Amino acid sequence: MAVAVLAAAVAAAAAAAVVGRLRRRRVSRRLKSYPAAQTQTPLVRIESLSAITGCTILAKCEHLSEPGASSKDRLARASIEFAEARGLLRPHSNPPDVIVEGTVGSTGIALAAQARARGYTALIVVPDDLAPDKYAALQELSAVVEKVRPCSIADANHFVRVAARRAQEINGAALAASSVGSEDGSTVPTRMPRAYYVDQFETDVNYEAHYRDTGPEIYAQLQGLGVDRLDSFVMGAGTGGTIAGVGMYLRERYPSLRVVLADPQVGMFFNICFYFVSTNWLGFTLQGSGLYYKVKNNIMYSPHEAEGTRRRHQVDTIVEGIGINRLTRNFARALAHHLIADAVKVTDEEALDMSRFLYEHDGYFCGSSTAVHLVAALREARRLGRGHTILTVLCDSGTRHTGKFWNNEYVAKAGLRFGASNLGLDFRGKQEEAS
């Protein structure tokens, strides 16, 4: 009897061990490593602006994404996985392959945060007037940072064009090294790193990442909240990937959805302060992004400049991350599908006032592009009237903007003033209520 009991116990233990191994194997198949994992970010209600307008203003908290703390984490992850699947990048190779990109900060930070864990070097080319917080973040993440003067995309020294050139140089050197060697095999070709140029402005990976991941994630959250009708999606455009991908997915689920472009426009005081530096004596201009005019008039230029002809330093707005004077492949996709119904211009003063108002009333320390989004969402809510639902995106936090957008000394030197906008927001005290 004792032997039978012991045998049964051993058999049960063995069976339990097998089951345990199978369960662990299933769990390990479901779980991803930290850099490969997709963070689901919260969807929240902006209470202050909702109270003011009588609408429901919702925001996707992409600033809570990991590991790069911005909406660009999705693009970075998708781009690296795309390149690895096609053998364009080799994880943990020796010497390490190089991820190259031209960026105004957030994409570079997202790429650098993921590159190190996968065994890559990140080479990031940026304009040298970027917020110092972003430089510091890139350096802390061990990225190789190359700074260039801000200029038009028509200039060969534009940060995007320099990045493409650096990738070509690295790949050219790798190709040359691989062809060196003796016929008898006594000399082994030198192993050189490859480079992968992300090309965020033109790659389809950008749009597809947001159509495949961000859009469905938002829709599932809206359904979970019982939101059966979404009236507007308000978003800025740098590359155009988010507004195109998310907008397209949500329009398919909400056929009457209005997709509205939020576009930065410089204020008068900033132009006066930087007149001599920014115009090179070519005359006074009131700058801003050309995308607004493309949406409104189907012409890709402002009344003061044609596309691709500006050859001057771009010091015309305090906002970073959105607003551009050329038509990218990602944004063109949205236009081709007649996705964007309207565009709203937001001045620097309006963005500044909104950021301080949100901090005062909602405790949200937002970045400059997020402030533009919220100004445009406020305007869209007021245009539609009470009872509507508007969605926007909180791209990144103010922690990357303490050197410029959240630096009162810099703001003053730029000739900008708090309270100079006509938004009707009191960011020092009690908010106005919806009538």
Long-range contacts, 223-231 (Cβ 8 Å, 24+):
225/43, 227/56, 227/58, 227/389, 229/254, 229/256, 229/389, 230/254, 230/257, 230/389, 230/391, 231/256, 231/257, 231/258, 231/384, 231/388, 231/389, 231/390
Q: What percent of the chain is modeled with pLDDT above 70? A: 78
| Length reported for the chain | 435
Tokens of 8: 């049964």
pLDDT exceeds cutoff 70 at 366: yes
For residue 270, the model assigns a pLDDT of: 41
* Segment 158-179, tens digit of pLDDT: 999 999 999 999 999 999 988 7
Read off the pLDDT band of 73 (50, 70, 90): very high
Contact (Cβ atoms closer than 8 angstroms) between residue 111 and residue 137? no
Tell me which of 7 and 291 has the higher pLDDT. 291
Q: What's the confidence (pLDDT) of residue 240?
A: 96
pLDDT digits (tens, 9 = 90+) for 229-272: 999 999 999 999 999 999 999 999 999 999 999 999 854 444 44
> Residue 23: its pLDDT value, please?
53
Question: Which residues have a Cβ under 8 Å from the Cβ of 50 and sit 6 or more positions away?
Answer: 56, 57
* pTM check: above 0.85: no
187: pLDDT confidence band, cut at 50, 70 and 90?
low
Average pLDDT over residues 192-214: 96
Average pLDDT value over all residues in the chain: 84
pLDDT for 33-63, tens place per residue? 555 556 689 999 999 999 999 999 999 999 9
Q: How far apart are CA 152 and CA 129, in angstroms?
A: 14
Tell which wins on pLDDT, 434 or 228: 228
Q: For the residues 117-132, what does the mean pLDDT come to?
A: 94
